[in-house]
Amino acid sequence: MRPSKLSAATAAAAALYLLSLRAYYVGFFNDDAFYIIGARSLLGGRYAELNAPGHPPLVNYFPGYSMLLAPIAALHPARLLSYQILSVILTVSTLLLLRRWLGASGASDRVTTAAVLVAAFNPLTVSHSGVVLSELPLAFFLLLSLLALRRAWDKEASIDWVLPVVLMGVCALLRPEAVFLPFSAAAVQALRRRWRLAGLCLLSLLGVFAFCIRNFILERTWLVYGIEIADPYRSSPLTTLLQNAFGGARYYLDLLFAKTFFRMPADSRGLLSAAVVAAGSAGTAIGAYRKKKGDAETVLQLYLAIVFAVFFLWTKRAGRYLLPALPFLSGYLFAGIESLSSTFEGKRRLVAGTCVVSLICCAFPDCRIVRASLVERTPINVPARGAYAWVQNRTTPADLFAAEWDGRFFLRTGREALHLPRPSSPEALGRWLTEHRVRYVFVEPSDFALTPANRRAFNAPWESPELNAFLVKTGRCRLAFEGKSSGAAIYRVVL
């Protein structure tokens, strides 16, 4: 495809993303709410939980994305659409950088075209193109960092490494898994005995190190992510590790090939889905293996290997975690497919045919996403407005709430809330509510919540039926509001 046609396809993808802005409402993930809360708090000179009484330090989320959102929070504090437009811009910019990366990597025009098209139009990208989550800026800055690394790779002067070091530092402050990018760059340089450059790469971690020191000084904790990943392995570590590794690999490979690049109809899952996963995995592995090593490509492959190992072992699993890796995996997939033929015509047919099949498979879910965004009203794209309106009309800012998704609750109501703990009994929950002088408990369905494998883990969210039962059994909670359509409920606590 000619550059002008590929640019037109990218513009079409941008239009599709704008039509899909309501695929998820802002606040749905709870994480997105906290990124905005962090951005607003930075305007006041702190990185804090504005949603909680006393505004304690925000330690659960790296500050990089909130720093990126801070100008929007200053200019348009109440317009959530502005944050989504930035996400669309980042997604489209990532596609443009992918074209440049693949071209600089020696990929053929047909591989570049197919990889960009599939990276642009797969349903995972389309549905998440407007979400306010840190995976999107990470995808953009990851490509920027690798391009800067490639440009500086054979240079020895420290000044030539300032840009890649800074960009890798930005990546590391965006998401926890991105800390492995400077480590990967340093490891590749160390293997070449370029010790000074390896040290320069590690300077990218200074921002993360400072954030961890700050967390320890203020809250006596380094990284909450470390606690979460270690918690499942406290008992039977080897058995748990093997189970999680197998389950994670199966989850992400099926998600990547049978639900993203080649979306299989729900009623065709089984042998066909397994064949697609096996063929897609083999093609991607071949494409990665045949890539020329020795520069930023080696850094990328080491980084992806480490990140996927972590994802496989992390008990919380979500498709959005794949977003920063999708562009590279798409490139490897089509590079591997191209290598299956030794003739020009054979390569062209294989790549073009696979690309067309992928786009056809993606077309139906993409249309479904657009339809849901424009027409439908679901718990995914419409918040519990009735319940939030009740909070704003029937309560005062002095009334303290408790909620599972406290960031979302604050973003939608402006009311402060404590995060609900997971006590072992209704009596213990009742004591906690009384001790903290909670006036109301806000309950929402947990159908789409991101949950660890162990539903009793400390970081597992409440299931709404269980929470409702606990609240009733405390003897101190009275139902004050119930939303029939949203499933939300509000309980008044009798102190």
For position 225, what pLDDT does the model report? 77
High-pLDDT (> 90) share of the chain, %: 80
| pLDDT(118) > 90 | yes
What pLDDT shows up at residue 463?
86
* Res 191 pLDDT > 70: yes
> Which residues of the chain form CATH 3.40.190?
385-493
Residue that wins the pLDDT comparison between 459 and 191: 191
Is 2 a residue whose pLDDT tops 90?
no
SS3 assignment for the chain: CCHHHHHHHHHHHHHHHHHCHHHCCCCCCCHHHHHHHHHHHHCCCCCECCCCCCCCECCCCCCHHHHHHHHHHHHCCCCHHHHHHHHHHHHHHHHHHHHHHHHHCCCCHHHHHHHHHHHHHCHHHHHHCCCCCCHHHHHHHHHHHHHHHHHHCCCCCHHHHHHHHHHHHHHHHHCHHHHHHHHHHHHHHHHCCCHHHHHHHHHHHHHHHHHHHHHHHHHCCCCHHHHHHHHHHCCCHHHHHHHHHHHHHHHHHHHHHHHHHCCCCHHHCCHHHHHHHHHHHHHHHHHHHHCCCCCHHHHHHHHHHHHHHHHHHCCCCCHHHHCCCHHHHHHHHHHHHHCCCCCHHHHHHHHHHHHHHHHHHHHHHHHHHHHHHHCCCCCCCCCCHHHHHHHHHHCCCCCCEEECCHHHHHHHHCCCEEECCCCCCHHHHHHHHHHCCCCEEEECCCCCCCCCCCCCCCCCCCCHHHHHHHHHHCCCEEEEEECCCCCCEEEEECC
Mean pLDDT confidence for 264-291: 87
The region of weakest confidence among 120-124, 290-294, 424-428 is 290-294
Q: For the chain, what is the mean pLDDT?
A: 92
In terms of CATH architecture, what is 385-493? 3-Layer(aba) Sandwich (3.40)
For 74-111, how does the pLDDT look when each residue is reduced to its tens digit (9 = 90+)?
A: 998 889 999 999 999 999 999 999 999 999 998 999 99
Q: What is the pLDDT of residues 355-412, one digit of tens each?
A: 999 999 999 999 999 999 999 999 999 999 999 999 999 999 999 999 999 999 999 9
The whole-model pTM stands at 0.94
Residue-wise pLDDT for 343-368, tens only, equals: 989 999 999 999 999 999 999 999 99
